[in-house]
Amino acid sequence: MTKKPLVTLLLACSPFFAAAHNLSLGQPVIDVEVTNYGEIMLTDNETRYQPWDNQSMLGKVRVIQAIAGRGSSKELNAPLMAAITAAKFPVEAYQTTTIINQDDAMWGTGSIVKSKAETSKEEFPWSSMVLDADGVVAKTWGLENESSAIIVQNKSGEVLFIKEGALDDNDVTSVLTLIREQL
């Protein structure tokens, strides 16, 4: 007798458990621009920043990793990032874009987040790294705090996959398959 009201309550509350983001499959991501820091560039072993916007991601298949400026958020999808690195997708057709929300870092760690982002760019120079000091991307796209979102988009910018939080093995396989299909 108590199971039916419980099921009804769970179904009624289910929208609250849905993903917080406002991105849609088959549509491009919502336009956004990062001007406070922005894309990390390496020129003659010097790090500099340039403004970044989502339009710069067109023309290549992308995995967008939008993460809070916390080590725990980066680790959520480390298995996917390792699998992508191992797959050695062609750089002329594929790129990972990591967007780091410095505004969602633990208090007092902003300079550490910036330094680690710059080190990551040096370690993976073929990747696109964006340092978002104000969290504009996360706010615009409605992403969860203290988390990680993985978004796959095709060369035209249409979202093919999105998931917030840790990906399981099936998700990793799906992402790799989507990338291969789009190349």
Is residue 140 domain-resident?
yes
Nearest to 144 by CA among 54, 72, 61: 72
Q: What is the band of 23 on the pLDDT scale with cuts at 50, 70, 90? A: very high
pLDDT tens readout for residues 70-95: 878 888 999 999 999 999 999 999 99
Q: Which pair of structure tokens corresponds to residue 58?
A: 């067109």
Domain of 56 in residue numbering reads as 25-180
pLDDT tens readout for residues 88-133: 999 999 999 999 999 988 888 889 999 999 999 998 888 999 999 9
Report the domain count for the chain.
1
Percent of the chain at pLDDT exceeding 90: 74
Sign of CA dihedral 146, 114, 57, 84: negative
Q: Which CATH number do you get for residue 82? A: 3.40.30.10
Q: Which pair of structure tokens corresponds to residue 183?
A: 């190349």
pTM: 0.86
Residue with more model confidence, 152 or 69: 152
Percent of the chain at pLDDT exceeding 70: 89
What per-residue confidence (pLDDT) applies to 110?
86
Is residue 99 domain-resident?
yes
Long-range CB pairs of 161-164 (<8 Å, 24+ gap) are 161/25, 162/19, 162/21, 162/23, 162/25, 163/19, 164/19, 164/20, 164/21
Is residue 9 domain-resident?
no
Is residue 4 domain-resident?
no
What per-residue confidence (pLDDT) applies to 7?
40
